Structure 1
Amino acid sequence: MLHSKLTRTLIVGLTLATSVAFAEGTAASNSSTPKLACPAGTMQTGNLNDGLYCRKGDAKASRGDAHGPYASYFPNGKKSAEGQYVDGFRTGLWTFYSEDGQVRGKTEFQGGNYHGKHVEYFPNGKQRLVEAFTNGKRNGLSQEFSEDGKIVRQAQYRDDQQVAEK
């Protein structure tokens, strides 16, 4: 129950972050805009509010796939998310932050899908949720923890279907 609501909330947040990443616009050229290490053949685009990313193709015309590092920022200037795109898809480890700079979650992606470990953290830095994914589906052990680190729920998943719970 609680787990489903939290998962839906995170998925909605990630979906919004992705759509924001493709908002039109070119990064401002002032010195306060961080520079990404864009791969050869790409150009940095976006802005601090919507996210900075590298784009292959015609970045000035807002065409082409995101490819390379991505970073978005809160209005206070602190980073809200960082990760990597490959050919338009989130790939590798993405990290999500709270406005005060604390890590709130880490998710591994492959081809735009959750693939690998997904971890959410309490404000005290302890793990709140740890899940395993394969091609966007929960596979393996899923654990929820209390703020003091005790396991409050544990379930086993296969192809996004719960097969056991403790």
Structure 2
Amino acid sequence: MRGPDEKPFDPAVSPLFVNAIREELRRVADERRGEPRPCPNCGSDARRKNGYQNEPKTVARLVTADGIEDVGVDVQQYECLDCGRSFQGDLSALFYEGCAYAKPVVDLCLFHAADESPTDCERTLRRQYGLQVNRDTVARYVDRFDAADGHAIDIAGHRYSLAFLSFLFGDDEGDEPHFVIQRSTALW
């Protein structure tokens, strides 16, 4: 079975918007994630840190003029002191269980897949966001999760998920986002 071909850089929207997405996703690059959790084998809370995974867990794959750039986080490993099993720390703040990409990318896939085929969704993600997600991955997310949140905003003729825009421009520390949307159409 062949893997996906590399996609060319081809933003159909403002390069400033695509760069904002890239910078926000790169912000989590090389972070160390994995909060302590009970052992999945025996349920014990007796554990010790046991280094990090050899390969970072992929947050997103960015399509750049130089090719595909993987953005990843280092995952903390733990060892159970009771049964000896090694396991990953809790990544639920950034990843859905069993998903290859971070929550914002999965949410974006689901948002666009609600109105488009997986192939069209793959193309939209590349052109509007500069993200590489294979159509088969999009189809798996659609089969696995319920329909996406329908809250959207129109910017320069394109529909964007409010959940994704909140990730990009929202303030994780406070209750209010950095910007306030008063209508469903924005003129930027």
Question: Which of the two has greater strand per residue?
Answer: 1
Q: Tell me the TM-score normalized by structure 2.
A: 0.28
TM-score, normalising length: structure 1: 0.30
State the structure with more CA Rg: 2
